[in-house]
Amino acid sequence: MQDNHILSVFALTGLIALTGCSDNTPVEETTEVTTSEAVASTKTATTESATITEPVAEAEVVDENPPRFAQVTDYLALKPNTNWNWKELADTPDIKEWYSRTPAQNEHLPEDPSYSIRGGLDDYGGMAVYGTKEQPEIITIGSGQAVMEDETGSAVYKLEDLFRTSELTRIESNCDKGENELFSQQFYKWEKPGYQTLFIYSIIDQANAGTSSDVGIAKSLDTFFESNYKQALINLRTSDADYNDVTCTFDL
């Protein structure tokens, strides 16, 4: 895991690509009173009828401001006592284009033992899944934008584009990097009601060429640091605030 600025695979991809009849019967004097009462009675009946028959809509709980990619991350959440599997993840909704849906090793990086599938979410980023041949273990969502296109990196995914902030709890680590630095790295617990607790790393890298983001999701923080995923998670840093190599620990 390197300490130099480097855009993710999806960051590089982002840098390269880019609603009638009338009644004539004589009326007697008393008819006027009768008619008046009838009209009043009719109005009352109509009003009562309208009141009774009009359906009353039940109050619904609506997420008025869901994350931009909520359909993706909601799908990735795991029910209790379940694991991810390649087939289901290859059916993740809102993937704009799949580059590979069958898990395979990286033929361009033979030293990487992990298997993966990947697809694009838009012109600036996408999702990759890493794991063993039998089972996926880590999901990453990355994005990037060139400084010549937008020096603020406005199209780069933020954490709130992916998750509801109410479901995230910050986890302190000796491998944290400052939020106000060019490179930032933090860790979170993702607690979605009715689902398993999952763990997240979030990276923002503001390099000379542009800005990139990288978010990882796993069932355990330790999974991110397994040797099998060292090549796949090249943006993840195992160093302290002084950039000394350390074993990452977490305040759970």
Closest CA to 217 of 190, 191, 199: 199
More confident residue, 238 or 55: 238
Report how far residue 169's alpha carbon sits from residue 10's, in angstroms, rounded to the nearest whole number.
26
Quote the tokens at residue 169: 């709890």
Percent of the chain with pLDDT strictly greater than 90 = 66
Q: What does the mean pLDDT of the chain come to?
A: 82
Radius of gyration of the chain (CA): 29
b/e burial code for range 72-84 (CB count within 10 A of at least 16 → b): bbeebbeeeeeeb
Report how far residue 235's alpha carbon sits from residue 7's, in angstroms, rounded to the nearest whole number.
8
Closest CA to 76 of 151, 187, 163: 163
pLDDT band at 63, cuts 50/70/90? low
Q: What is the mean pLDDT of residues 163-183?
A: 92
Report how far residue 214's alpha carbon sits from residue 149's, in angstroms, rounded to the nearest whole number.
19
pTM of the model as a whole: 0.76
Report how far residue 164's alpha carbon sits from residue 199's, in angstroms, rounded to the nearest whole number.
14
Tell me the pLDDT tens digit for each residue of 105-129. Answer: 999 998 999 999 999 999 999 999 9
Report how far residue 117's alpha carbon sits from residue 130's, in angstroms, rounded to the nearest whole number.
7
Asked whether residue 46 carries a pLDDT value surpassing 50, the answer given is no
CB atoms within 10 A of CB 193: 7
85 to 8, 171, 212: CA distances (angstroms): 24, 27, 28
What residues contact residue 146 under an 8 Å CB cut-off, 6+ apart?
A: 14, 15, 209, 210
What residues contact residue 4 under an 8 Å CB cut-off, 6+ apart?
A: none
CB atoms within 10 A of CB 24: 6
Predicted pLDDT of residue 170: 97
Could you tell me if 144 and 120 are in contact, meaning their C-beta atoms sit under 8 angstroms apart? no
Q: What is the mean pLDDT of residues 3-25?
A: 40
**207 Ramachandran zone, left/alpha/beta (phi>0; psi -120 to 50):** beta
Q: What is the mean pLDDT of residues 36-47?
A: 42
Report how far residue 222's alpha carbon sits from residue 113's, in angstroms, rounded to the nearest whole number.
17
Residue ranges covered by each domain of the chain: 67-236
CATH number listed for the domain at residues 67-236 = 3.40.1000
In order, the DSSP letters of 153-201 are -TTSPPHHHHS-GGGEEEEEETT-B-TTSSEEEEEEEEE-TTS-EEEEE
More confident residue, 26 or 180: 180
